[in-house]
Structure 1
Amino acid sequence: PAPPPPARPHALVIPFPAQGHVIPLMEIAHALADRGVAITFVNTEFNHGRVVAAMPSPARRNGETENGGGGGGGSGKLGMERNRIRLVAVPDGMGPDEDRNNLVRLTVLMQEHMAPRVEELIRRSGEEEAAADGHGDGWGRITCVVTDYNVGTWALDVARRTGVKSAAVWPASAAVMASLLSIPELVRDKIIDAQDGSALTQEAFQLSPDMPVMHPAHLAWNCIGNDEGQELLFRYLLAGVRAVDECDYILCNSFRGAEAATFARFPKILPVGPLLTGERPGKPVGHFWRPEDGACMSWLDAQPARSVVYVAFGSFTVFDRRQFQELALGLELTGRPFLWVVRPDIVHGDVHEYPDGFLDRGRGKLVAWAPQQRVLAHPAVACFVSHCGWNSTMEGVRNGVPFVAWPYFADQFVNRAYICDIWRVGLPAVADEKSGVVTKEHIAGRVEEVMGDAGMRERVQAMMVVAHESVQEGGCSHGNFDMFVDSIMS
């Protein structure tokens, strides 16, 4: 008799539980599904609920509910012809009212609470496939774990214990990954402390020529926004570095033209970007907030070409009251139309009170959420005031929009160095030395400088061309992703 056909590849995808990580991992999942791979996408229960609630109505209606890996969550199977993505929820170990912006605590609890459920999912998938009565779920055995590097070593350990292939996704810049891989050298050169990674010097350094200048205090683990648990987080990241050699691949949401020097020095990091994050009509894309139905797009349609200042600071940035008001007044002071995303989780209470009369004057459009990729692609948008999260950085570059760079924490300071110093496609927002506030006059001035700089626009549009070429057939990122898919298909 002829041998049975090979099992269809089935990837278990695990993002770190923050929107800036869920979105690119979801796009990786879709790109795998496009190439015939079945996907089980594992979110924490908390984020699973947010992602499902923010999905388009037809996709939500098509979901089937089932037990999510023994954790009490649900999962939705989204049958999109051959593009099958099953959303599964597992507990993260935090209480219902705990602050999930405490990334250090969340990271530590994930290992204890998520790892057993994920291992159970993988083993159960094998049992279903082998069921003699043929009444499995039709998805087959999980054959590969694709994990966000930031999830930690436990996901790679689970893959090894269950005998499946593994790959790590680094959803930030290759330069930040390089800083992690260089920790032993940074310790040896007395740039950081061996115990907790804290800065031992204020002197800037470069890992190699043509890479961004980095400041020890701005390394990702040194500005996570929480001193408590610093040593724990650093040790966790260091363990991840040691696990890298066990990975079959490290996929990075970047492209060779953006970080040529980094990819040359660290060839194990494979560029597969820029990923088309957050734009799959009618499909789950990883957003945490319910979209407003076209409100900002119809507003943009009414604005002149290259006239609008787009302002968005990601899912973590929080300003104090004075800085929030100064930003509002600075946007008004530009005299230009602006589209400002003010997250629904930060407008409660008096911290984010708008200046007197600001809302009544209606100089700009304020929204709780925006389809960022579509916004940045709109011909009316001329400037992006950004926190420099990597997804936003790639989306701005991919659409040829220059930046006012205003980082908040983690990797965003290195991204600012790329934007302002290496690529020269933006200018930094600089706080006043005395007050520590980025003033309204400075904000308005920076916007004018960026919007009036023809050379800057030419540079960012040249990068846009290279970015698009990289993900097209024959491009470096496209080829790298195909190579990865071929490896998990075999």
Structure 2
Amino acid sequence: MDHIALHELHAHADKPAIQNRKHSSQGHVIPIMELGQRLVEQGIRVTFINTEVNHKLVASNWLDKDRFGHLISMVSIPDGLELWEDRSDLCKLTLSILQTMSDKLEELIETIKKEDSSKVTCVIADDSMGWAIRVAMKMGVRRTAFWPASVATLASLLSFQKLIDDRIINEKGIPVTDQTIQLSETMPPIKPENLGWACFKDEATIEATFRLVKEAVEASRLIEWFICNSSTELEAAAFSLFPQLLLIGPLLASNRLADQAGHFWQEDPTCLTWLDQQQCSVIYIAFGSFTIFNKTQFEELALGLELSNKPFLWVVRPGMTKETTTDCPDGYMERVGSRGRIVSWAPQQKVLAHPSVACFMSHCGWNSTLEGVTNGLPFLCWPYFADQFHNETYICDIWKTGLRLDKDERGIITRGEIRSKVEKLLSDKTFTVKAMDIRKKVPSSLRKCGCSHSNLSNFIEWIQER
């Protein structure tokens, strides 16, 4: 039986103002867990390797262990920091990973060789972890890179040398102009400040994350497959720039009603019962695993939802505000009554598939974007940083399935702006029509003989070759 080492070791944090970040983005964990489940369905054994901090969160909230537990082993290796050290210092964390984790991965693979009857036959690494590819190369193990986000975002990483040559960034990855980047006429424009490694305020962190990018791009020359969680229906222009990429997504699309692995918090399934009691006009609001609001913005969002006079389901996860509490304004729940429901974490795929949900107010992470798209929902876009702005451009300017929420001169999205955009989105059926049109197109890639289905099938066959 083939034994695959599947890595989600992505070191990801948001802007330096945010404190106490202890884990990476779920946008990397969830899709690679989905990929692992696709592999075990074909009888392939998977060792899912995570950092110790992420491992504890994922393992404690994995609801479907019985189904996959005998073929997926959840293990961890240290990131080089002590458990009490602050992982919101991304510069420190990144340098620690680069210095220590390759040796730890090599030790783990050697241990598997000694203790397991089946050796590791392939390493599938998140593409941001180029050092894992080098470890596999050194140990004579077959190598695959996996990219969980949009191809447009990956294209900007793969084009870093062109950005240096065009004097958009310097040799350390730091933007030296505010000139908008457009890698092709039909691709989303990118502001230099929103490049994946450049969205931090301090230069030391930019330099450290840019080093990861460069090492990942160099390591990509050593791989045998480069698979991506996207489809040609969604990103034909970006794919045309790098046809060597193999699109196998959206990985979530065929699993909309299943329990999902990779969550950091326990889901509250009672919100589905609440949705059963609503009409078809619910606003679903969720901002992923690391968006942070200040008190003013949190209150404006709460009051905007109240003013919309629409039923809403709002995910307010622990630590969502810079303050210690996430309390709504005084008397808020009494005024909103039964038309508002707030939960700490939701079974998002099941929520978005529910017929009562009319639109999705989102941070536009790629996972959330794919989930909204595959359910035919229009978006209200509230990106926070990096690739989320690229995805917002897809939604608002290319697919035309949503609206931006614009900030005022203070950098706040006001209650009036929220009410106005909710009314516009739900009253103009054009957005829903376009969203439903994309919903019909995307699954064609996943059907038998579709591009994504064929690529994934060929990849699995390659893994199973002796």
The two structures have a TM-score, normalised by structure 2, of 0.91
Report the alpha carbon displacement of residue 460 of structure 1 after superposing the two structures with TM: 1.2
Bigger mean CA deviation after superposition, 336-345 or 14-23: 14-23
Q: SS in structure 1 opposite 2:234?
A: coil
Larger radius of gyration: 1
Q: SS in structure 2 opposite 1:310?
A: strand
Gaps of 5+ in 1: 1-7, 64-76, 129-136
1:92 alignment partner in structure 2: 79
- In 1, the alpha carbon distance for the partners of 2:232 and 2:89 equals 33
Gaps of 5+ in 2: 11-23
- In 2, the alpha carbon distance for the partners of 1:458 and 1:284 equals 28
- In 1, the alpha carbon distance for the partners of 2:119 and 2:257 equals 29
1:413 alignment partner in structure 2: 389
The two structures have a TM-score, normalised by structure 1, of 0.87
Q: What is the one-letter code of the residue matched to 2:458?
A: M
- In 1, the alpha carbon distance for the partners of 2:323 and 2:387 equals 29
- In 1, the alpha carbon distance for the partners of 2:207 and 2:402 equals 34
> What are the superposed Cα offsets for residues 305-332 of structure 1, whole Å, 9 maximum, x if unpaired?
2x00000000010011100110110111
2:142 alignment partner in structure 1: 165
Contact 1:420 1:427 in 2 (8 A): yes
Report the alpha carbon displacement of residue 281 of structure 1 after superposing the two structures with TM: 8.2
- In 1, the alpha carbon distance for the partners of 2:450 and 2:401 equals 23
> What are the superposed Cα offsets for residues 199-258 of structure 1, whole Å, 9 maximum, x if unpaired?
222221310121111111221112146554211211221121122111111111111011
Report the alpha carbon displacement of residue 300 of structure 1 after superposing the two structures with TM: 0.6
Change (3 A) 1:33 1:226: farther
Change (3 A) 1:388 1:154: same
Report the alpha carbon displacement of residue 283 of structure 1 after superposing the two structures with TM: 6.9
> What are the superposed Cα offsets for residues 74-99 of structure 1, whole Å, 9 maximum, x if unpaired?
xxx812xxxx1111122122232333
Match status 1:175 vs 2:135: no
> What are the superposed Cα offsets for residues 269-298 of structure 1, whole Å, 9 maximum, x if unpaired?
211111117959887710000122x21100
Match status 1:193 vs 2:170: yes
Match status 1:451 vs 2:407: no
- In 1, the alpha carbon distance for the partners of 2:412 and 2:354 equals 31
Q: SS in structure 1 opposite 2:144?
A: strand
Contact 2:131 2:215 in 1 (8 A): no
Report the alpha carbon displacement of residue 113 of structure 1 after superposing the two structures with TM: 3.2
Bigger mean CA deviation after superposition, 165-174 or 278-287: 278-287
- In 2, the alpha carbon distance for the partners of 1:279 and 1:475 equals 17
- In 1, the alpha carbon distance for the partners of 2:333 and 2:254 equals 29
2:93 alignment partner in structure 1: 106
Report the alpha carbon displacement of residue 102 of structure 1 after superposing the two structures with TM: 3.8
Over the residues paired in the alignment, what is the CA RMSD in angstroms?
A: 2.1
2:40 alignment partner in structure 1: 33
Match status 1:145 vs 2:119: no
Indicate which of 35, 43, 46 corresponds to 2:50: 43
- In 1, the alpha carbon distance for the partners of 2:36 and 2:74 equals 11
Indicate which of 371, 379, 384 corresponds to 2:355: 379
Identity across matched positions, percent: 44
Match status 1:359 vs 2:359: no
1:74 alignment partner in structure 2: none
Q: What is the one-letter code of the residue matched to 2:84?
A: D
1:331 alignment partner in structure 2: 305
Bigger mean CA deviation after superposition, 338-347 or 406-415: 338-347
Contact 2:359 2:377 in 1 (8 A): yes
Contact 1:10 1:37 in 2 (8 A): yes
Indicate which of 4, 9, 18 corresponds to 1:11: 4
- In 1, the alpha carbon distance for the partners of 2:147 and 2:80 equals 24
Change (3 A) 1:282 1:175: closer
After TM superposition, what 4+ stretches of structure 1 lie above 6 angstroms from structure 2?
A: 280-284
Change (3 A) 1:340 1:473: same
Report the alpha carbon displacement of residue 104 of structure 1 after superposing the two structures with TM: 3.7
Report the alpha carbon displacement of residue 348 of structure 1 after superposing the two structures with TM: 8.5
- In 2, the alpha carbon distance for the partners of 1:325 and 1:192 equals 37
2:108 alignment partner in structure 1: 121
Aligned residues, how many? 449
